[in-house]
Structure 1
Amino acid sequence: MFWFSPKAPPKTRETPGPPDGPQVFSSSIDRLTYAIGDIHGRNDLFLKMLLDIRNDAEAVGEKPRIVLLGDYIDRGPNSAEVLTSILRLQTQTWCDTAVLVGNHEFALIKFCLDSSCGWLWLEHGGTATLASYGILVGADKSDFSQWPELQQKVIRSIPKSHMKLMCEAKIKFIAGDYLFVHGGVNPDLPLDLQDAETLLWIREAFLSSPKSCDYVVVHGHSAKVVASNLEWRIGVDTGAYATGILTAVKLLGTTREIIQVSTR
């Protein structure tokens, strides 16, 4: 199975790069759509992005679809607030939403089912999520005798609405010529034969392939300082928790545009 792979955060950069503006590609989508990359506890940037998207959609004159690509929790300071903001967004009428699961949400859910899975999750940002729910974890994470107790504390502390949101999030979403997924796809397998762990965790085999599948893949998961906007894939994880920059892509007809918000 896939699990967390070691990766350094992208080089810190607190201001967005110069916008490219809309670009025309052969792929198309059915309606105005914005796909937002990994938020990782940065609720401040998430709310800022939503405001920009709402204003932009009003200028276009269409009700937008917002696709959230997963990894709402861990690493950044406000994981619980991000999930609350997503729940609030789902009740609003100015947009439609599609919520995808990321490997970090998957890891939290797995820990709630099996306490032995906790160590790697906490080592890869889970302690920040626990802190956002008022749970502080000691420095010694190797004492496995404490994991069942921590597991039960987590289950009691996380609101049922937050757990329901994560458990019901989609693995993938398709619209027009685009496939939205957290991690990517295995370029050597048909899409309908790929399991959830591949779609959530795959990295290099997908990123280095010249073409992945019959769709243009819109993904997060693999943080880069500069977003990727290629013919066959769009990567919008710019490491918001470390760089202070949250990235999305705007899709309208045959055009694509990378949009960003920052702490400044």
Structure 2
Amino acid sequence: MVGQGVHFLEAAGPAGMRIYAIGDVHGRLDLLEEMHARIEAELANEPPRDWRVIHLGDYVDRGPDSKGVLDRLIEATSRDQRMIALAGNHEAGFLDFLAYPTPDGLFANNGGENTALSYGVSLGFYDPGELARGHALLKRAVPESHISFLRNLGTSVAFGDFFFCHAGVRPGVTLERQDPRDLLWIRGEFLNHPGLYSKVIVHGHTPHAEPEVLANRVNVDTFACRSGILTALVIEGADKRLLSVSDKDQWLSATTP
């Protein structure tokens, strides 16, 4: 403990529990399946007393198989409650578009056409007639199970000295009183804040070429949809390490400093 907050180097997860926190997937079902396979192998080879796998949001858009990612997550979270999926801003954008299609929202301008294609629908955003036609087809193509899953995603979860969310938290507000919109969208105020929080914040949302491991937060968004690398933070007691899978058919792992 340092001052009024927790420093990453001294932070620990609950005794006996191993936690995997996975960054933004963005339609890369291939990488998510490989990450799950790696985690399953670790759990089988060195089983902990308890475990959690936390997905930090942004499952849809940009990559080629958003539908497949949601199918996989629905199956995994239904099968085992220790598999946790949190909401990202792109899930919110997808729901917003399904409810009210616009050509200038998050979905239209940030890879939503690839999400629609994964459901077999081609969208045209800038012709009103094409937008209405495509929207109607997409609403019919998206299963109700997907809508229910997206609507019921939580925005945060905490274990031990760690707080998990998609985007980050607002400095000066207790973790218990964070605005759900900040948990999905915040950037500047959070990313530039040097102070410690009551827990270390583990998040995605802001892509980096490499994971960011700082005193007060860990960012595991390594831009999987473009880099071909999906990253997770692994926490077991006071031990922390990074685990990455690559589309180069090779598992990668590294230990944090």
**Normalised-by-shorter TM-score class:** 0.7 to 0.9
Letter in 1 for 2:156: K
Q: For 1:82-118, what per-residue CA distance to the aligned partner results, in whole angstroms no more than 9, with x for missing partners?
A: 111112212445x711110100000011122222376
Alignment match, 2:160? 176
| CA shift in 2, pair 1:122/1:151, >3 Å | same
Give the Å deviation of 1:193. Answer: 3.6
Match of 1:205 among 164, 178, 189: 189
Is residue 51 of structure 1 aligned with residue 48 of structure 2?
no
Where do 1:230-241 residues align within 5 Å? 230-241=214-225
Identity, in percent, stands at: 34
Q: 2:104 and 2:117 mapped to 1: Cα distance? A: 15
* Structure of greater relative contact order (alpha carbons < 8 Å, 6+ residues apart): 1
TM-score (norm 2): 0.86
Give the Å deviation of 1:70. Answer: 0.3
Q: 1:184 and 1:145 mapped to 2: Cα distance? A: 38
Give the Å deviation of 1:223. Answer: 0.3
Q: 2:196 and 2:116 mapped to 1: Cα distance? A: 36
Alignment match, 1:127? 113
Q: Do the aligned partners of 1:118 and 1:147 also contact (CA within 8 Å) in 2?
A: no
Where do 1:1-264 residues align within 5 Å? 25-30=9-14, 31-62=17-48, 63-93=50-80, 96-116=82-102, 119-138=105-124, 141-144=125-128, 146-211=130-195, 213-264=197-248
TM-score (norm 1): 0.84
Q: 2:135 and 2:33 mapped to 1: Cα distance? A: 30
Q: Do the aligned partners of 2:232 and 2:244 also contact (CA within 8 Å) in 1?
A: yes
Q: For 1:170-213, what per-residue CA distance to the aligned partner results, in whole angstroms no more than 9, with x for missing partners?
A: 01111111110000011133334432221111112111111263
Gaps of 5+ in 2: 1-7, 249-257
SS for the counterpart of 1:32 is strand
Gaps of 5+ in 1: 1-23
Q: 2:223 and 2:242 mapped to 1: Cα distance? A: 15
